Amino acid sequence: MIRWILLWGTVFGLSGVALVAVTNKAVIYSSSDAFCGTACHSMTRPLAGYHQGPHFSNPAGVRASCGQCHIPYDSSHATATQYVKLLVFKADRGARDVWFEYRKSIATREEWDQRREQLRTEFDSYLVKNNYITCRGCHSLEAFGGPRSRMKVLIHQDMLKANTFDCFQCHQEIGHVYEQPVAKVGGWYTAEQASSGEKLYQAQCANCHGEKLEGGGGPSLKGATWLQMYGGAKLLTVWGEITGPMAQYAGATYTTQQSLDIVSYLLQQNGLPAGSQPLANTRELSDLLPAK
Ligand code: HEC
Ligand code: HEC
Ligand code: HEC
Ligand code: HEC
């Protein structure tokens, strides 16, 4: 009797392990780039956009796969309940994707142009609703090191405190880059904006950086030093420095508008001409500055 129990116990035990292993293999394979990008979907264009984006190749040499961004818990270690949720999510998505593959494919240029905006919006709102769960599975916003890390920690700290995240408010073209950004030579701000920025600058920054931005206690913010710091960088990098560490140095807290005004003044002083529209929110800061 005991022998039978042991025998069947072992058989059930082993097949249970095998079943879990097979399920998990299927879960992993159906989130892989090979599967999502080529095997089953008509994903040529999203795949090409992904190849041009920062998550396919980057200075760290760490690649994020389709599933790690698009499927909850693939970028973090799921608990048992989360794993069940993951299976449900995948079953639901999988069924819909198969239906779309045959009935509403996005393989041709026209189909893609027609559906892209809707697909993008759907995924954007999924992330917003779920507090950017997949992004935060990889990115711990308190763990920055290296150049400008103080700024990066400061800039994300309010989000961490409030536990609400909207990465796209400041970071665009994160998963897929369809058009490589080109540096503009100005036109980001209005002249009025630069003059309100000048007032703030003279009152709160000039004592360290000089009335004419020539430097003093802090570095010069003009000409060669400016180019060295920000040539080819995103406007976002300049803004982050001002609204983060420099506001702290100045003993101030800026509204987004005030810090954008100061950015405008610095752009103007570095020969990047004004345009007709004001720099109004952080979404506009993904543009690149000219490298020389
Ligand atoms: C780093 C995270 C990330 C990775 C990796 C990633 N995506 Fe995306 N994907 C996004 C984001 C974010 C959006 C929403 C578009 C946006 O706001 O830029 C998106 C949008 C999409 C869309 C909707 C159309 C569009 O581009 O707006 C499809 C389809 C898509 N992804 C498929 C894939 C496939 C297939 C892969 C792997 C080959 C993949 N994604 C890899 C983050 C990612
Ligand atoms: C699998 C892990 C992983 C996931 C998931 C992931 N990232 Fe990343 N992300 C990385 C790595 C690795 C880098 C490159 C870091 C480097 O080069 O130092 C990176 C780079 C970035 C950068 C800097 C690159 C740039 O061009 O500005 C931003 C911003 C970013 N990720 C935001 C996001 C957002 C938003 C999401 C969710 C849609 C996301 N990440 C999902 C791993 C991930
Ligand atoms: C209020 C604006 C803002 C929001 C919202 C925001 N970030 Fe950032 N983030 C910044 C700034 C500014 C930098 C510094 C940019 C630079 O140095 O070029 C930065 C840098 C980063 C970097 C490092 C990039 C690099 O090249 O070193 C990563 C990764 C990143 N953010 C991820 C995220 C993620 C993930 C979210 C959402 C959970 C998020 N950020 C939300 C403003 C923001
Ligand atoms: C108490 C002196 C002080 C004040 C006030 C101050 N800064 Fe700075 N600033 C510095 C120093 C020192 C650095 C060099 C980097 C560092 O220490 O973080 C710097 C760096 C910078 C940088 C370049 C960042 C880099 O990494 O090279 C910019 C841009 C900048 N400051 C702008 C401003 C603006 C705009 C204000 C006013 C809102 C301001 N600063 C207020 C001292 C100051």
> Which CATH fold would you assign to the domain 191-286?
Cytochrome Bc1 Complex; Chain D, domain 2 (1.10.760)
Residue with the smallest CA separation from ligand 3 atom 15 is 237
Q: Residue-wise pLDDT tens for the chain (292 aa)?
A: 667 666 555 655 555 555 555 566 666 666 677 767 666 566 788 999 999 999 999 999 999 999 999 988 776 777 788 778 777 777 777 767 766 666 667 778 888 888 889 999 999 999 999 999 999 999 999 899 998 999 999 999 999 999 999 999 999 999 999 988 888 888 999 999 999 999 999 999 999 999 999 999 999 999 999 999 999 999 999 999 999 999 999 999 999 999 999 999 999 999 999 999 999 999 999 999 999 7
For the chain, what are the domain ranges? 31-140, 191-286
Q: Considering every ligand atom, which ligand is closest to the CA of 167? A: 3
Q: How far apart are CA 134 and CA 97, in angstroms?
A: 19
**Residue 194 to residues 113, 188, 191, 232, Cα–Cα distance (Å):** 38, 11, 5, 21
Q: Considering every ligand atom, which ligand is closest to the CA of 144? A: 3
Instruction: Answer left, alpha or beta for residue 273, where phi above 0 means left and psi between -120 and 50 means alpha.
Output: beta
Q: What are phi and psi of 217, to 5 degrees?
A: -65, -35
Contact 286, 171 (CB under 8 A): yes
* Cα 175 to averaged position of ligand 3 atoms, centre (Å): 14
Q: Best substitution site from 208, 212, 257 to test ligand 4's pocket, by max atoms within 8 Å of Cβ?
A: 208
In the block, residue with structure tokens 């599933």: 67
Contact 72, 133 (CB under 8 A): yes
Angle, to 10 degrees, between the axis of helix 191-204 and the axis of helix 256-269?
A: 100
Contact 209, 274 (CB under 8 A): no
* Cα 34 to averaged position of ligand 1 atoms, centre (Å): 15
